[in-house]
Structure 1
Amino acid sequence: MTMLLINGAFQIKGTQPDGDTVRFMPGDPREWDLVNSRGRAVKHDVLGRAALRLDAIDAPETHYGPNRVHQPLQFAHAARDELLNWLGFTNVQQGPDETVTTVVPETVPGFILASGADIHGRCIALAGRGASEGNSGVDVDVDVDMLRRTVNHHLLAAGLVFPTFYRSLLPSLRTEFTAAARQARTAGLGLWPSDTTTTGAKVTALSSITDEVVILPKLFRRLVDYLQLGNLPLACFPAYLAGVQDRFTITSSGKRCTGLHNVVEISNGQSVRMTQPPEDLVFEEA
């Protein structure tokens, strides 16, 4: 798969990184224009610093939405801490709102393989540490060996994040990510022994999903938005999902769907589960 290689540095002081979002600054900020030419524009400051959304993975939430709702923090923080440690940051200190106040060093060299930007202006990318072997600002063919040298693959292989795929990702890379996720699940690594996405999560209140059960972050976000509408029964959640209209394909069957209600079941009025594993779904960008 051809992606745009950009050399630069990761910077996290003053930001709130989580397990799939971190800030990056190209060596030449004008190279963001090369990403912008592919579609949506990357939002960056005057120094060229921009947020990355790490492609193909979704980490448990540390602070979602205006109310800063989180998933069980032992898993959310494990993904975030491993991301920062793998990139080369040490002695990371954070304030009560999880903003990084001090870190050693303040920047670490790295590179990204960019495929575009999302609706929030974050660059969608694979991320690597240290200097890359290629020239910055050029398209490179990304194969499985290169994929395995990214933090995206590392976090998935360690069982610290969920696979969450979008159509822009080449099928061969998606196949490798799927294999890494399944191996981690089979080995019982990271969050997988606690995951209830497909077995059924008991949801009696918002606290059920913030402090107790571990589920796919996309499903978590939809549940949070639904539960914050008021005292609505869980039985009505599929109807809400139909209205949200997430578009995706079930790869095992080839079925194209609109709305997560196609793969979500409610039982006993208190349990929600997905009928397909996360890696079997390929989403369309909003």
Structure 2
Amino acid sequence: MPYRLIKGEFHVHYPDLPLSGPEPDGDTIKFLPDNPSLVDALSASGRSATFNRRGMINLRFEGIDALETHFGDSHQNLNWAEAARDELLARIGFTNIAFAERNPNKIASIDNHPQRGYVLANNLDTFGRIIAFVYVGDAEQVDGAQLFIEEAHVTRSLNYQLLEAGLAYPAFYTSLPTDLRKILAQLVRGKRPEGVGLWPEATANTQQTASFTEGLAEIEELVIWPKLFRRLVSYVGSGFTTLAQFDAWLREDPVNRDDRVLLPNGELGNMHDVIDVISPLQLRMNYEPEDLVIVPDGEIVLPPPAPVKPSIGKSIRIVAALVNPLGKETGQERVTLLNVSPHDQDIKEWTIADSVGKSAPLTELLDSDVIAAGNVVQITLDSRVRLNNTGDTITLFDNNGSMVDQVSYTRKEGQAEGVTLVF
């Protein structure tokens, strides 16, 4: 899935109203896009971007979760929470930062503000924030360019740099492609045993049980997975003084408490599967955070497809599709293929499939066994393959079941009636 490049400025301070300004932490920051319409184009899930009156929007850093400098009336271990925030601000290029005495999360004065930067994003979260890989400076590509992120893009991001410094936990959502998730997970698995950053003090994990010897109020001093911290703060705020009811409390609310997660074995579980309450004042995690994938509320989770390997040297590409025809759709959806090679391509036993795995033989749809060199052919899909107007993926497989080509489109693109999408 391509990411969209969006250029703009990072803001952490309102010079005219400093005490009403942002409260930056280690994984969120205000962003003023040069072209707000590029942000609106990220609304693939029907979510709307949340801009403030100054035209700014919050960035949520893809793949990481820093300790909370402020969460309601609480906070996490401030040594590491503020270390992540300060490192982020320094890497962006802000200097001489002074925080307000009346509110230590607000910036009273700052130099080199704002700073230019850009993001690579493909989605908005449920709060209308951009989920992004974040970069300082400018990019060679034009504003709005769509890029397929590779390892080099990831390692240049501030997201990666904060994980590399041991100043954030990994936090993977289903919006993060598997190959990018593996890059970040491998980084964390290497840094944890090296004792980098916060890892020597981390607790409530698979190796170290968190013990509350003087009650749950100690949670503010512990270094624990921020998502677990946020649940514990809400739990304590409900009046509980021990962990005895924590499991039951999570299960009571599967939307706001008992988050859905993909477990390391690929099964769909919940937060209560991740947490193990050892005693009324002790708990630990059954899995490390980098081995979990969080499923956003309302997202439909399909069974994982059978693994396929890209086929080398195949010549057919999916170049266009009419996914939302005018009027009746069944029997009217069309996909355009191009043989980019100088050779005829035998397509016997090839198939075309949608995102839920429904497929049809290509030869039956094309009424031919061959696509000639350089030829463009258009196939009309029948009821065996249906292209969802809320976003879908189209995949071409060869006679060995290997992936030849794959394209995706968003909800917004799929709702354009009568428009042929070009990939």
Band the TM-score falls in, shorter-chain normalisation: over 0.9
- Residue 164 of structure 2 is aligned to residue 157 of structure 1: yes
Match of 2:226 in 1: 217
- Residue 69 of structure 2 is aligned to residue 62 of structure 1: yes
Greater helix share, 1 or 2?
Answer: 1
Structure 2: 5+ residue runs without aligned partners? 14-20, 298-423
Equivalent pair of 1:12/1:22 in contact (CA under 8 Å): yes
Shift, 1:40, TM fit: 1.3
Matched residue count: 281
Please give the per-residue CA displacement for 1:66-108, whole angstroms capped at 9, x wherever unaligned. x2x1001000000001111111111111114211121111111
CA distance in 2, matches of 1:261, 1:27: 42
Equivalent pair of 2:216/2:241 in contact (CA under 8 Å): no
Equivalent pair of 2:99/2:109 in contact (CA under 8 Å): yes
CA distance in 2, matches of 1:115, 1:183: 28
Match of 2:12 in 1: 12
- Residue 158 of structure 2 is aligned to residue 134 of structure 1: no
Structure 1: 5+ residue runs without aligned partners? none
> 1:131-280 maps to which residues of 2 (within 5 A)?
131-198=138-205, 199-203=208-212, 204-211=214-221, 213-243=222-252, 244-251=257-264, 253-258=265-270, 260-280=271-291
> 1:93-108 maps to which residues of 2 (within 5 A)?
93-95=98-100, 96-97=102-103, 98-108=105-115
**Which 4+ runs in 1 deviate beyond 4 A?**
none
Match of 1:88 in 2: 93
Report sequence identity in percent: 38
TM-score w.r.t. the length of structure 1 is 0.94
Match of 2:58 in 1: 51
Equivalent pair of 1:40/1:116 in contact (CA under 8 Å): no
Match of 2:38 in 1: 31
TM-score w.r.t. the length of structure 2 is 0.64
CA distance in 1, matches of 2:129, 2:69: 18
Match of 1:3 in 2: 3
CA distance in 2, matches of 1:176, 1:169: 11
CA distance in 2, matches of 1:106, 1:281: 37
Aligned letter for 2:33? P
Match of 2:48 in 1: 41
Please give the per-residue CA displacement for 1:91-134, whole angstroms capped at 9, x wherever unaligned. 11111421112111111110001121112221111100100121
Greater relative contact order: 1 or 2 (C-alpha under 8 angstroms, separation 6 or more)? 1
CA distance in 1, matches of 2:237, 2:123: 32
Shift, 1:232, TM fit: 4.1
Look up the SS of the partner of 1:113 in the other structure: strand
CA distance in 1, matches of 2:267, 2:38: 38
CA distance in 1, matches of 2:50, 2:94: 24
Please give the per-residue CA displacement for 1:127-169, whole angstroms capped at 9, x wherever unaligned. 0010012111121111111111100000011110000100010
The structure with more radius of gyration: 2
Equivalent pair of 1:34/1:137 in contact (CA under 8 Å): no
RMSD: 1.4
Shift, 1:46, TM fit: 4.0
CA distance in 2, matches of 1:50, 1:101: 21
CA distance in 2, matches of 1:39, 1:89: 35
